[in-house]
Amino acid sequence: MPEREAVVRTSSREVREALLARQEIALLDVREEAPHATGHPLFAANMPLGRIEVEAYTRLIRKSVRIVIFDNGEGLAEVAVRKFRSLGFSDVSLLEGNLQGWRDAGYEIFIDVNAPSKAFGELVEVQRQTPSFSAHEVQRMIESGGDYVIVDVRRYDEFRTMSIPTGMSVPGAELVLRIRSLAPNPETQVIVNCAGRTRSIIGTQSLINAGIPNPVAALRNGAIGWRLAQQSLAHGASATFSQTSDVERLAAEQSARQVAVRAVLEEVSTEEVERWRQDQERTTYLFDVRTPVEYIEGHLPGFRSAPGGQLVQETDMFAPVRGAKIVLCDTDGVRARMTGSWLRQMGWEVWTMSGVSVERLTQTGLDQTAPPLLPELPKEAEIKFESLQHQANHVVLDFSPGMVYRAGHLPNSWFASRDHLDEVLANVAGYDRYVVTASDPTLVLFAWNDLLDMLDKPVMVLDRSSLPISLLKTESPRYACTVQDRYMRPYEGTSASEGAMQAYLDWEAGLVEQLERDGTHHFFVI
């Protein structure tokens, strides 16, 4: 976009009216995740400036979709408008007054991340009076050796980090499909936990909605509540679900069908989905809600991996276009229907392709969708680690996420972010050659291209495959800019203070009142 071209502005009132009318709109906060978590409108999705080229085509899909961009006065939003237009997106505007304009209009500001999903979970608990046990009550069950099973509905990596003793990993969308094999005795008490509240509420209510005969309850406040009760967590646990028999799957499918009817969730044909994919007036997301392992082994072409439990938990990340259509698929007739039932209640237009035959899963591996406008890297701009050792007066800039950099980086390399390039170059100056690396091969190309435009010195890309893993270190990190790419959640890891954990729980408990004041959500609870 030429500098002289006027920037179109959209008022907060217009955005609110679009949300109320269920029109398609992507309200994007282009700050990094940490500042995003300090405050934003309910349906604002986070897409940091430095990741727009990497994420726009898969998260927004349609180039004519209405996009409204904001920041908090940092000057990122206008740069983002130009970037989106250079990528071919045609309906892009700034939120008038940015985040302050939303405040000045008297509209609600939500903190933290995944606010729509968390607020919805609290609404479900209030309206359905979802049963729960305290940490002390569950501890007594464990000590007494009673007839119970604890199912942890988070991602497997989260479960491995910390878990309730004797618990097993059963990510959210797997619950209804797997529970009959995990608790075949209808007298067995099922206890559902996550790190905090949302996923355990949704998981517990999923089993209740599906008519499971067992008594079911959430672990109140999850692993946070467990820690606040001064009880010990397990670390490195690996217990998980096993294969489901045909009889168990058919019973689960019947339960899921009944839930789908209650949620007014319908099936869609392959032919109709293909027509929707070609529609230039509506956005349609296609998600495979099975486990990542199953997805890699084979999936429908065009469908992205979105394990059902995480899709419900992080809907704003998977589908930032509010008002879009969503199609879910599975191979069992259970996971898509259960996931879809929750998305329907969250105000989405959702359809399922349940029980897809394995023969149709012709695409394998991870989703390889790449931006169509990748910078072209000349062969002479790529350098192998062996050659790097002979380069005098060079610096390595690592554009990996902060957590990845901290987990292992090349000694003497600097953490850097595309969102703070001026700060990076001010702090890392005076070198004859700049070498760029990143865990994301797509992101590294864009970072290389940025620096090429900003520097009159050679800029190289480190061939990461030539980097010996044994050289990656965790000590002596160097930061060329502020690290804001990740909001440190009070419910992840083990380092959060008790004050931060309690504040998080208190915030979640107040979300229902905020929803009522906001009024744009269209949520309902079956």
pLDDT (tens digit per residue) in 187-239: 999 999 999 999 999 999 999 999 999 999 999 999 999 999 999 999 999 99
pLDDT cut 70: percent of the chain above it = 98
9-115: CATH topology: Oxidized Rhodanese; domain 1 (3.40.250)
pLDDT band at 367 (very low <50, low <70, confident <90, very high): confident
Helix (H, G, I), strand (E, B) or coil at 44: strand
Whole-number pLDDT of residue 6: 80
Given CATH 3.40.250.10, say whether it is the number of domain 379-479.
yes
Mean pLDDT of all residues in 387-395: 90
Strand ranges of the sheet holding 168-169, from the earlier edge strand across to the other edge? 132-133, 216-219, 189-193, 148-152, 168-169
41 pLDDT above the threshold of 60:
yes
Instruction: Give the domain ranges of the chain.
Output: 9-115, 122-244, 261-360, 379-479
Confidence label for 469 from pLDDT (cuts 50, 70 and 90)? confident
pLDDT at 110: 97
CATH architecture observed for domain 261-360:
3-Layer(aba) Sandwich (3.40)
Q: Are 355 and 332 in contact (CB under 8 A)?
A: yes
Is 492 or 147 the better-scoring residue by pLDDT? 147
Give me the percent of the chain exceeding a pLDDT of 90: 89
Q: Is the pLDDT of residue 370 over 80?
A: no
pLDDT confidence of residue 1: 40
Per-residue pLDDT averaged across 332-349, rounded? 98
9-115 against 379-479: fold identical: yes
Characterize the bridge pairing of strands 67-70 and 168-169: unpaired
Residue 355 to residue 262: CA distance in whole angstroms: 19
List the 92-95 sheet strands across, edge first: 9-10, 92-95, 67-70, 26-29, 44-46
Q: Are 58 and 40 in contact (CB under 8 A)?
A: no
* pLDDT grade for 494, boundaries at 50, 70 and 90: low
152-194 residue pLDDT tens: 999 999 999 999 999 999 999 999 999 999 999 999 999 999 9
What's the pLDDT at 93?
98
Query: Quick one: CA torsion of 442, 443, 445, 450, rounded to 10 degrees?
Result: 150
Ramachandran category for residue 375: left, alpha or beta (phi over 0 → left; psi -120 to 50 → alpha): beta
pLDDT tens profile 122-138? 999 999 999 999 999 99
Kindly report whether the global pTM for this prediction surpasses the value 0.85. yes
Q: How far is residue 253's CA from residue 126's CA, in Å, rounded to a whole number?
A: 28
- Looking at domain 122-244, what is its CATH homologous superfamily? Rhodanese-like domain (3.40.250.10)
Sign for the CA dihedral angle at 463, 465, 468, 471 comes to: positive
Report the pLDDT value the prediction gives residue 2, as an integer from 0 to 100.
41
Q: What is the CA radius of gyration of the chain?
A: 24
Q: Please give the average per-residue pLDDT across 85-107, as a whole number.
A: 97
Rounded Cα distance between 373 and 394, Å, is 29
Mean confidence (pLDDT) of the chain: 95
Cα–Cα distance measured from residue 513 to residue 39, given in angstroms and rounded to the nearest whole number: 17
Burial of 69 (0-12, 13-18, 19+ CB in 10 A): buried
Q: What is the pLDDT of residues 53-76, one digit of tens each?
A: 999 999 999 999 999 999 999 999
Helix (H) or strand (E) holding 315: helix 315-318
pLDDT of residue 455: 95
Task: Give φ, ψ of 164 to 5 degrees.
Answer: -75, 135
